[in-house]
Chain A
Amino acid sequence: MTRIVLADDAVLLREALAAGLRAGGFEVVGQAADVDGLLRLVEAESPDVVVVDVRMPPTHTTEGLEAARAIRARHPGMAILVLSQYVETRYAVDLIRDDPAGIGYLLKDRVTRLDDLADAVRRVAAGGSVIDPEVVARLLGRPRRHSPLDELTSREREILALMAEGRSNQGIADRLVLELKTVEGHVRQVFSKLDLEPSSEDHRRVLAVLTFLKPE
């Protein structure tokens, strides 16, 4: 069973999350209210997945992001799902820039759908990447003057968005009810139009797409 450590300073929400995760078939092995508690739990429990809120004491800004970085530095393989109250594309892109494997950034609204939450946890636990659709929508919807994105068909944009969310070709095919072969064709087309290096690994692909959408 996938073992999870949970960190959020809001008790009510943390309990609700724990209940939701348990209902989704996960084992919640520890809960923390702050970064120090989280780091201790991670050392003690070696969980498969860490779910952490961005905003925690003492400054209530981006403690969760920093905790995520610290954990990844000590345990490079550990999957982390960061929850955020607000959509900040910058945080999402910064988070996966170093190493997108097993990293997720999800808006808190999303977790109210327990299925979506469980799906995201499973995907990061499997080493995939999860980017909240709202973040992707904001990145894609960001008004541009002239962009290769203008060349994409609406189907191709749809597929680009799902790639940016971290979904695999199979995942995209399931979501859009298409043949896998068709999806692969569209993906090639998108990469060619955006002049990106095709990548077989899903999380590398996420990074390439996000970097294209939000260059630093």
Chain B
Amino acid sequence: MQRTTRNLVLLIAVDLAFHLWSTFGPFLVWPGPYHWSVTPTNSAINLSLGLLWVAVLGITYVRDPGGRMWKLLLLSDIAAGTWALGYLDSPWGATLAELFGPLEAAILLHLVLGFPSGLLRDRLDRGLMAIVYTIVLPIQLLGLMTLDGDWNTLLVFPNDDLNFLLGRFGLLSPVLAVIAAIEVIRHWRDASPVMRRVLAPVAFGMPLVFLVLGAWWAAPALDRDDIRVFMLQNKIFDVPAYLTPILFLLGTLRTRMARGAIAELAMELGRGIPLGGLRDALARTLRDPTLQLAFAAPTGGGLVDSDGQPFQAPADRRATRLEREGELLAVIVHDPGLEREDSRFVEAVGSVARLALENERLQAQVRAQLEEVRASRQRIVEAGDAERRRVERDLHDGAQQRLVALAMRLDAARGTTIEARALIDAATAELGVAISEVRQLARGLHPTILTEAGLKAAIEALAERTPVPVEVEADAARYPATVEATAYFVVAEALTNVARYAAASHATVRVAAEGGALAIEVRDDGRGGADPGRGSGLRGLSDRVAAIGGTLEVDSPPGAGTVLRAHLPLEAVAT
């Protein structure tokens, strides 16, 4: 902290020194009459603008001391200082001013394209800067080496033609300026909402600056010095100088405001947030309403969301991984614009939310495990159902058919002798019992009518078989097979109990879809007092119901009948 402060003071002092030099240097060193632009008023204005730049530098350094932005700013101010060397009564001064002066504009372009981190975003930007730096450094150097003039200490071989040709590169400047103007607006358009706020001043102010600068640079290459004169006389030349530091200061201050949101987040987390509210809090802080949170899955190495459901980050989103001691804590999936502009911001937000994230991660993992267990239970139920159907089919196609065929053959063999007839009759009767038993067994495994005609028909068939009058209220709608089978077995078990224990004179079965669930009610007017834990029938059923995410309850006060209610979710959870 102390060190940062000391560096900050030092940095500001150095930068201020360069600005003072740029402003007052000419007065100190120029022996002759001042250039017409060097007046006390202009100097005062220049110094004020310089102070704005110093402020930008200071804020930028505090915000991101490891970043590139403040270095570029300082470099730009140093380059600007070389202009003043031109006032030294020395050929070297004039030469250095010519050589390094244009660098200021190049760095400015770099600053604008890289704002606010100083890093260039894509190949187009990097290509643009490569061209610009080539023009202001090697080509400028080559130009000086061929430019005839007694002040030019770098002159190696005077060559007017080559020098003229090199000067033509200045024609590129307006083109580059237009491209840069388009680029900053494009950056703004691609940015996340929070970064748009930061980028807005630069994105919308700098294109104007570029146009002015472009015209200024293009003038000598076009042999139109009158343009420069016009721009100077009408103060147009001053626009970039005034506007640029103001735009940068505005943008930089907005960055700080975005960072202030971290403090707010910290306070919000300190107050405690409701479960699942963490995502919303992070989305607010990062001003990215599309933000998502994901955590390491308990098994398999994948990701799960807060509800424990498997999560896959969309390809067009950026994922910032937050780790603790090498272990993945969470992944913040956000607008790719956020990281391109300022990855440290996302990380900083993640650090502040670390404890809350850890908590949410544990919750998500527990939910994921729960979800796995639930899904596996449902799969077991479904596998069981499939197995029952298969066994029923096997019985129907196999044993049942054989027994019936056998009975027919036996019947055909009747009537030879009285003795044989008696034997065959006995065998046929025995066989009839066997056929009936196999039929009941097969039907209990899985009634075909349920698959074919649905729950209502199957329950009505159950009601017909119940020795107590049963009223069925249901509609003919079809539901997922597992839900239908579960509902059927619930009703079958309930009616069996009514017939066996309830001593009821009447029962009602109601089945209706209510708000995404199938509601089943079996009510009788019997003696009540049923113990839900009695027998394995109901307990097995309640396991089965729970396996598909449903509930089963039995209300059976002594003497007041029994009501069994089941709720089976229809959106039976992905399998």
Contact = CB atoms under 8 A, between A and B. Distances in A.
25 contacts: A12-B405, A13-B404, A13-B408, A19-B408, A19-B409, A20-B408, A20-B411, A20-B412, A55-B396, A61-B452, A62-B453, A85-B442, A86-B448, A88-B449, A90-B453, A108-B400, A108-B404, A109-B435, A109-B439, A112-B404, A112-B407, A113-B411, A114-B408, A143-B469, A145-B506
Given A86-B439, A143-B470, A114 B412 contact: yes
A16 interface: yes
Please classify the interface of chain B as helix (H, G, I), strand (E, B), loop, or mixed, using the class held by over half of its residues: helix
A138 B405 contact: no
A19 B405 CA distance: 10
Interface stretch (B205-213, B323-331, B459-467, B515-523): B459-467
A74 interface: no
Contacts of B468: 143
A109 to B, nearest CB: 6
Interface in A49-102: 55, 59-62, 85-86, 88-91
Given A89-B461, A112-B407, A138-B464, A55 B401 contact: no
B428 A12 contact: no
Given A114-B412, A143-B467, A12 B402 contact: yes
Contacts of B464: 89, 138-139, 142
A145 B504 CA distance: 12
A142 B443 CA distance: 19
A97 to B, nearest CB: 15
B9 to A, nearest CB: 86
Interface string A32-55: 000000000000000000000001
Given A62-B452, A89-B461, A109-B436, A144 B469 contact: yes
B451 A61 contact: yes
A16 B448 contact: no
Contacts of B401: 10, 12-13
A111 interface: yes
B227 interface: no
Given A112-B408, A112-B431, A143 B461 contact: no
Given A60-B448, A112-B404, A112-B432, 18 more contacts: A9-B397, A10-B401, A16-B409, A23-B412, A55-B396, A55-B448, A60-B393, A86-B439, A86-B443, A86-B448, A86-B449, A88-B461, A89-B461, A90-B449, A90-B457, A108-B400, A112-B431, A114-B408
A210 interface: no
B411 A114 contact: yes
Contacts, number: 93
Contact of B432 (A62, A85, A109, A143): A109
Contacts of A139: 464
A122 B447 CA distance: 31
Contacts of B436: 109
B408 A111 contact: yes
Question: Top 9 closest A-B pairs, CB basis?
Answer: A112-B407, A143-B469, A61-B452, A16-B405, A10-B401, A16-B408, A13-B401, A12-B405, A13-B405
Interface string B395-437: 0110011101111111110000000000000001001100110
Nearest to A20: B408
Interface string A108-132: 1101111000000000000000000
A144 B507 CA distance: 11
Interface in B194-242: none
A143 B466 contact: yes
Interface in A147-170: none
Contacts of A15: 405
Interface string B363-403: 00000000000000000000000000000010011001110
Interface of A: 9-10, 12-13, 15-17, 19-20, 23, 55, 59-62, 85-86, 88-91, 108-109, 111-114, 138-139, 142-145
A131 to B, nearest CB: 15
Interface in B553-575: none
A86 B447 CA distance: 9
Contacts of B448: 55, 60-62, 86
A194 B95 CA distance: 124
Given A88-B449, A90-B449, A138-B464, A19 B396 contact: no
Nearest to B470: A143
A17 B436 CA distance: 19
A111 B451 CA distance: 26
A10 B432 CA distance: 19
Contacts of B443: 86
B451 A112 contact: no
Contacts of A86: 439, 443, 447-449
Contacts of A114: 408, 411-412
Contacts of B402: 12-13
A144 B472 CA distance: 12
B461 A85 contact: no
Contacts of A89: 461, 464
Nearest to B404: A108
A9 B468 CA distance: 37
A114 B465 CA distance: 28
A139 B405 CA distance: 28
A100 B409 CA distance: 31
A182 B409 CA distance: 39
Contacts of B411: 20, 112-114
A191 B464 CA distance: 24
B405 A145 contact: no
